[in-house]
Structure 1
Amino acid sequence: MEIQKLNWAGIKLISQDKIILIDAVEDFSYYKPVLGDAVENLIEFSEEIRADYILFTHLHLDHFDQGVIKKCLKKDGKLIVYSGLESFVRKYAGEVEMIVLDLNEIFTEHNITFKPVFAMDGVGEIQSSWIVEDESTKVFHGGDTIWHNQFWKLGKENPNIDYAFLPVNGVVVNFEIIGLEYSPVPASLNLKEAFAAAHLLHARYLVPIHYGLFAHKKCYIPQLFDDGDLRKTSEEVGQGYLILKDGEMLTEGYS
């Protein structure tokens, strides 16, 4: 399996000559009032990628991009959707073929297995994490989940995870502009929580996502960290990690 980090929380997987996108977003403009401007140039990928499968963890527009579905999904491609989101997704997906799965239900095609598992959204909306596995590699994608009590169970029920892509910015959000009362409690995993979650998942590596690209002094306030914090937390928790920059490719065999 080949793995490429895309913008923000997005990743591209290539397995069995099939392309899989998870939380792939190119257009963040809808959320500019609360996220602010991207601090780095965004990757433009929709003209180049033709995906066989597209998955997303939830419908926040920094994880769910309708434009990517329209531009990137092959004519015979499939959306793979957690059943809790099915009714919402059908409003946007048109005639696209859709595979709908309950939590822990498995769909396998071309020797690639897809499985939605429990996640918890920071503002109470529907979310799942995804496990995608081929003959050589198992990937866990956690969207922007917060800390929850199912990481122990997920680790026991899903052995041999190689890469756990987890949010790390521990962001405090003030979304009163869209009717949500302010809370000082982070709405995604912070760095230490992400390392602990990856450890409970028994993942070979934590791969941080959902950090660094956006901040808004009033509406979207992330926790900041540096390379020293990464090394220190890794040692404290006993969890390996690797950093993929946006656009960077990881070919299986990393050690």
Structure 2
Amino acid sequence: MRVRWLGWAGMEVESQGHSLVIDLLGRPEDVLEGTPLAAPLPKVVAPHTQGDVLAGLCTHLHRDHTDAGALARALRPGGQVLHPAPFGGDDHENLWTLKADRELDELKLARRPMGLWETATIGPFTIAAVPAVDTLGDPQVSWAVEAGGKRVLHLGDSMFHGYWWRAAHRFGPFDAVLTPINGPTVCFPHCQPPSPYAASLDAAQAAVAVRLLGAAVAVPMHYDGFHLDGFYQTQPDELARFLDAASGESYEVAALEQGETLTL
């Protein structure tokens, strides 16, 4: 199995001549569309297997993790988009998922909503939707992917939670865990009063989560982009903070450059 970091939370997973993409992001500037805000944008690259990808896995329907246009370019004809099943609720509750949801429909992408702990087999890949926790209360999963005897877990931008041991028991051991590390604090108009706690795993939390999951290798992601003063605030030196937090752990850290591949 080969795992290639595409930038932000995007990953390309290849095995036995086939590929998946997870949380693919093609145009970071589109995430800020319709706002007067500017932000440092993450560097992203396209998949090696552009146009021939079996399936696109989305940990949740926020547009920096579900880029319908990028998925349409990446997928082969008939390729599927897998994402968490909806929770229901009104438009206020679903404010941050409505646009990505609509864009997937507009591009007529084949969709497969997945329930918690549900598994699917696509090509050589066995895929499981592992429970995860989103800072806004939107549906989110982590994706466990197995192929060719190798197993990885992609944590999306989940917060710290208590499913680590169950995930390790059901789908481990993991050869690699792909983890967010930027730990932003957020303040959005539809989620008030705001929480002071990290909206996705910060460096110290990510280091512990990888340990609890029993991974052989940690691959940091979801950093170097989208700092918005007053709305989405991160701390400087995100990667250095994670490397320091993980320095005493027994697992290895593979800090990839955008476009770099880890072979498992």
TM-score by length of 2: 0.84
Question: How many Å separate the matches in 1 of 2:131 and 2:208?
Answer: 17
Tell me the percent identity: 27
CA distance in 2, matches of 1:212, 1:136: 32
Alpha-carbon separation, structure 2, partners of 1:133 and 1:34: 42
What displacement does 1:43 show?
2.5
CA–CA distance in 2 between the matches of 1:59 and 1:184?
Answer: 23
Residue 192 of structure 1 corresponds to: 204
Show structure 2 runs of 5+ residues with no match: 89-96
Can you list the C-alpha shifts for 1:64-110, whole angstroms capped at 9, x where unaligned?
A: 10102222221121222333379977744344333343211221233
Q: Distance in 2 between matches of 1:187 and 1:226?
A: 14
Partner of 1:210: 222
Q: Does 1:93 align with 2:104?
A: yes
In the alignment, the residues of structure 1 paired with residue 214 and residue 36 of structure 2 have an alpha-carbon distance, to the nearest angstrom, of 35
Match status 1:68 vs 2:63: no
Counterpart of 1:21 in structure 2 is 21
What is the rounded CA distance, in whole Å, between the counterparts of 2:149 and 2:137 in structure 1? 35
- Whether the 8 Å CA contact 2:142–2:155 is kept in 1: the answer is yes
Contact 1:26-1:45 within 8 A present in 2 as well: no
Q: Report runs of 4+ in structure 1 exceeding 6 Å deviation.
A: 85-90
Q: CA 1:46–1:180 in 2, change beyond 3 Å: closer, same or farther?
A: farther
CA distance in 1, matches of 2:256, 2:67: 22
Equivalent position SS for 1:216: coil
Q: Write the mapping of 1:103-114 to structure 2, written as runs, cut at 5 A.
A: 103-114=116-127
TM-score by length of 1: 0.86
Higher percent of residues as helix: 1
Q: Give the aligned CA root-mean-square deviation in angstroms.
A: 2.7
The DSSP-based 3-state class of the residue aligned with 1:131 is strand
Gaps (5+ residues) in structure 1?
none
The number of residues matched between the two structures is 251
- The residue aligned with 1:148 is 161
Secondary structure of residue in 1 paired with 2:7: coil
Alignment of 1:27-176 (within 5 A): 27-32=27-32, 33=35, 36-39=38-41, 41-44=43-46, 48-84=50-86, 91-94=102-105, 95-176=108-189
CA contact (8 A) 1:26 1:46 kept: no
Cα 1:58–1:18 change in 2 (3 A) is same
Mark the CA change 1:35 to 1:148 in structure 2 (over 3 Å): closer, same or farther.
Answer: farther
The alpha-carbon deviation at position 166 of structure 1 amounts to 1.0
Q: Distance in 2 between matches of 1:203 and 1:238?
A: 9
